[in-house]
Chains A and B, each alone.
Chain A
């Protein structure tokens, strides 16, 4: 590892942690309904929007009402987006005259953006009008992120409420998430990106003559405003097809650095807010420690497998050694501007957090390098995770960890004073069961049915990885892809759309039901007989449970995919 990579990582970690703490305190205040500086400015608008929409903010919703509100809110958002996409040719701001989309693609995109997956079966600049990008996708970027926030906050209330089954009010939580967190931060970040050179206009595409004398179309559009929320809201759906590898979407080293930070920012901030909301910061540190252990291991694996280069190039006398003048390693599918470390860091971060934006092509990673983002998604995006979903995702793992460990100390398992009983375990198990059904069940169908198999650009283990990656990405609501996989077929659009829906609401509904059940329980004060959930032991245990669950469920798939590819590649060139 060269010194620049190391320095950059230190800066990345320091800035992330430095921003996380104040943001966490601020977000805890926002969702506890306490006074904030932003409230002084935006409070009247918030109040007005409740009056206009007939929201009675003081009214608590029980879990079923809360879940109902989530579904209705997202269903309406999805329907509007679907209609916009189908009929974008009849709508304004379409200087390129792009046609309306076919139903299957429109369905896939609508589901994808509403579920915060942002899987893209399309190329942005060649498919969508400015109207669709701005009023369709960008709006849902905000709504989906705010929904994630709301569900996570509702789950936290499950732990803090004492014999009170109310989980807060979904509409209030969503409104506050948008007004007080997402909009101000996006505005700041968009301005930063414009400064760095990201375009933000409604001009027609520019025709340019290149040095070679050929014609090139240079896409334009309201890019910066969409990229800001795309990064912050762990959406990840790029404006351009090349996503963050595109020079307009990610023009400078500074933009790359802060986009990396912005992937993590709200996820880790919300975990810090969790510590504040439950009144015990150590609980948040424990979760962060566990996530960071996994993150570091996976980042290390990804970086070193890329940096070591491809053994198949060995006999071609290609220099893959990293030096000051050579980025070295496996550079296939990577931006020369970013090199190995930034690509590996981005790939690990984006897949750990359910973001799904990319600045390098994961399909071209080494088998084990590509295994890293795949594994991140297979464990359910809990290594920091997406905004909101990361927190409630890891809390599901915490429930299972605490249940097994709690039994081992001889007490009915409890977390934050709430007893974890059959009802909660049942719901947590349902949520855990849906992932393998989505990834392995739907994935295998896609592998074996000719309609699905035709999407793969490779055969053998790499094709298997492509398909499993696509379904893992959809199930975990990540959105990144092994780009060789062609998702834009009727079969894949529909299948992946269904998987995205299950992956999102199949978790949200059990999570809210768990929260409702926990909220109605008493809070047992801790004693020396209580299993402490803030120490090193808990961190190790939680880490082990995540790895075991992910590892045990997907071991055969990983063995036949990336591991088989890796072994074949390295053994075939072995002397």
Chain B
């Protein structure tokens, strides 16, 4: 992870205490059955306990059975504990989310124009209700601003302290329940019924209680159940084979064999991995509406990114004055600066700043009271200033040329083209209808974005930039930023068509967007990340919401998705690989009574059948608890090709999974035989 918003310790004392209690509560069969592998261990533990009781009641020696039974119960408890820890960490997140859901009173109104409001509890609000919120109020639920403009403090959910503007219409109309109005007054139409808001969904996901299993998790669970059944057949028929061979095996030994063979390690950690993954996502200030979407993020083939605000800084900056037709650079700069003195747009400010830097002027000092500034309008597509006899205009080339009544000299055309080719936006400046030259407004590529795209390429993800620019400009920016492809002059229809055509090729598409016109594309994409600043429509259409409104965060989401799958795969491999050593520990122990020559299979030279079985079962329980931190943190993921990742993980979890238990079981056996003398 290249970026984390906070570093939390894996465990805290309170968390451990709660999780320990939780581990016992989860012994309830109704809860346990959600996890078939651990349920099997639970049932088997009960059987072992029963055997112990029978032995005790009939006066036989029961200490060995008792130890097996205890370690089996520990195995179940450790699995429960892992889940409880993950849930506890999720719950801490949920609690902080829930804090924002304090029982506010909503000011319900009948219509936009209504003067009076009725105070009602926020929880009674339904979709379509209108409420009014004024400075100091907490917004009672998710919705869209339908009237007015206000500054809103969203720090409760984003952690970002600067208030943001929310206004009706446009792309900044969505408000989230739990945020606070800083100034002004807005009317909000509620868009979510109680319990359905994003926060509610997220709380459900991180708490784990209502967590739906994701598709890959279901598939893996089926495989694990299959393995459990195979080993059940193996162990039950083993008694038959032993009976034929001359001597039945004590049932407690068979139970031990069964439990060590079935994939308890991954079975016990499976849900913890899932919950921890969600938790990591929330930690990144991303809210997923379902676990499925997070998993799908790991599969993404193509990533569609808006240029503005994602690849480039939102604003274009003046970077160069290109004088033409005999005008000097200085005269061009002066005209451009004076015309921009009251221009509050970032572009206008950047022109002033560039002229000041270039010629050491003081722009403010040039401001004269008789100056009559002409603001930019979409109609004229130019702005400027008039004072005395002087009239300066700056604006889109075709508009300025039209105003000047010329089609432009070759020199002008060349200058315009030069700017466009490098991905910039040309701005023509005319003094008294005489063209002085071109201001180069440059798109500034976000620092570090190039590296991020390299990372994505290593992960096998193709990036496509979406922009409203013309193809020439788009190509230049795409090349500079290092994206693989671009879609120029993009309209909502074009975006949708692009997604559909990629999907038809079998690819999985992620996109992020904020505007209402992005909603269809967000809904069509396999992973749609809506910006929290976006409209309600966009937020409804996407399956994730980024509270920080940082589109490049998709990279982290993809990583979390991949990590989730990798952790499951790695622990499954580890779990199965462990069985080799366990077999070599237990099989000779079981059969040495029938065939003394079977001791040749006791490759670890374990002390006695009892110590061998006990070592295996203890290893099986301890490895589960030892791997809890790994399950919570996830397997390390570094962007690389699939082969590289596989080689690394196979070596650690596959090969390691075969070796580690041989060593650990031998050590445990030495310990047991020394201390307990069995």
Contact = CB atoms under 8 A, between A and B. Distances in A.
Contacts of A474: none
B565 interface: yes
Given A410-B565, A410-B566, A531-B642, A464 B223 contact: no
B458 interface: yes
Given A422-B218, A422-B219, A548 B576 contact: yes
B677 interface: no
A202 interface: no
Contacts of B562: 409-411
Contact of B642 (A426, A528, A548): A528
B563 A410 contact: yes
B647 A422 contact: no
Contacts of B457: 528
A407 B566 contact: yes
A544 interface: yes
- Of listed A421, A524, A552, residue having the most chain B CB within 10 A: A552
A453 B459 CA distance: 59
B223 A429 contact: yes
A408 B650 contact: yes
Given A564-B591, A571-B600, 12 more contacts: A407-B569, A408-B570, A409-B569, A412-B216, A412-B299, A433-B226, A440-B241, A443-B237, A461-B595, A556-B587, A557-B241, A568-B597
Contacts of B646: 405, 408-409, 531, 537
B301 A524 contact: yes
B572 A404 contact: yes
B507 A403 contact: no
B234 interface: yes
A419 to B, nearest CB: 8
Contacts of B597: 564, 567-568, 571
Given A407-B220, A433-B229, A553-B230, A528 B641 contact: yes
B298 A412 contact: yes
7 contacts: A406-B569, A410-B645, A422-B219, A422-B222, A433-B230, A448-B243, A564-B595
A447 B569 CA distance: 39
* Residues of B contacting A: mostly: helix
Contacts of B243: 448
A407 B216 contact: yes
Interface in B448-493: 457-462
Interface string A526-567: 011111100101000100100010011111110110011001
A408 B653 contact: yes
A447 B230 contact: no
Contacts of B240: 444-445, 447-448
B238 interface: yes
B674 interface: no
Given A447-B241, A524-B301, A421 B215 contact: yes
A44 to B, nearest CB: 40
A254 to B, nearest CB: 43
A510 to B, nearest CB: 12
Contacts of A403: 219-220, 223
B62 interface: no
Interface of A: 162, 400, 403-413, 417, 420-422, 424-426, 429-430, 432-433, 436-437, 440-441, 443-445, 447-448, 453, 460-461, 463-464, 522-525, 527-532, 535, 537, 541, 544, 548, 551-557, 559-560, 563-564, 567-568, 571
Contacts of A529: 301, 459-461, 641-642
What are the 3 tightest A-B residue pairs by CB atom distance, in nearest-first order?
Answer: A529-B460, A407-B569, A410-B562
Nearest to B249: A556
B18 to A, nearest CB: 30
A464 B245 CA distance: 8
A522 B526 CA distance: 14
A535 B643 contact: yes
- Of listed A162, A411, A437, A555, residue having the most chain B CB within 10 A: A411
Given A444-B240, A532-B642, A524 B573 contact: no
Nearest to A411: B299
A301 B566 CA distance: 37
B660 interface: no
A530 B642 contact: yes
Contacts of A571: 597, 600
B503 to A, nearest CB: 8
Contacts of B215: 412, 421-422
A524 B242 contact: no
Contacts of B459: 528-529
A522 B591 contact: no
A447 B261 CA distance: 24
Nearest to A429: B226
A555 B241 CA distance: 12
Nearest to B237: A440
A98 to B, nearest CB: 37
Contacts of A568: 595, 597
A528 B566 contact: no
Interface in B289-336: 295-296, 298-299, 301
B601 interface: yes
A548 B655 CA distance: 13
B245 A560 contact: yes
Interface in B564-589: 564-566, 568-570, 572-573, 576-577, 579-580, 583, 587
Contact of B645 (A162, A408, A523, A559): A408
B611 interface: no
Contacts of B141: none
A464 B642 contact: no
A567 B573 contact: no
B591 A560 contact: yes
A407 B650 CA distance: 11
Contacts of B577: 548
Contact of A559 (B222, B226, B601, B649): B601
Contact of B460 (A413, A463, A527): A527
Contacts of A413: 216
Contacts of A421: 215-216, 219
Given A408-B566, A411-B642, A412-B565, A537 B233 contact: no
Contacts of A537: 643, 646-647, 650
A368 to B, nearest CB: 13
A524 B301 CA distance: 9
A191 B231 CA distance: 50
Given A404-B569, A405-B569, A433-B230, A522 B506 contact: yes
Contacts of A563: 601
A361 B169 CA distance: 87
A413 B566 CA distance: 11
B348 interface: no
A555 B643 contact: no
A443 B220 CA distance: 30
Nearest to A425: B219
Contacts of B508: 524
Nearest to B566: A410
B626 interface: no
B359 interface: no
A436 B298 contact: no
A537 B243 CA distance: 42
A8 to B, nearest CB: 34
A407 B597 CA distance: 41
Contacts of B458: 528
- Of listed A412, A523, A535, A567, residue having the most chain B CB within 10 A: A412
Nearest to A547: B580
Nearest to A460: B245
Contacts of A424: 219
A192 B234 CA distance: 47
B654 interface: yes
Contact of B566 (A409, A426, A445, A530): A409
A363 B652 CA distance: 42
Interface string B422-461: 0000000000000000000000000000000000011111
B561 interface: yes
- Of listed B218, B223, B565, B642, residue having the most chain A CB within 10 A: B642
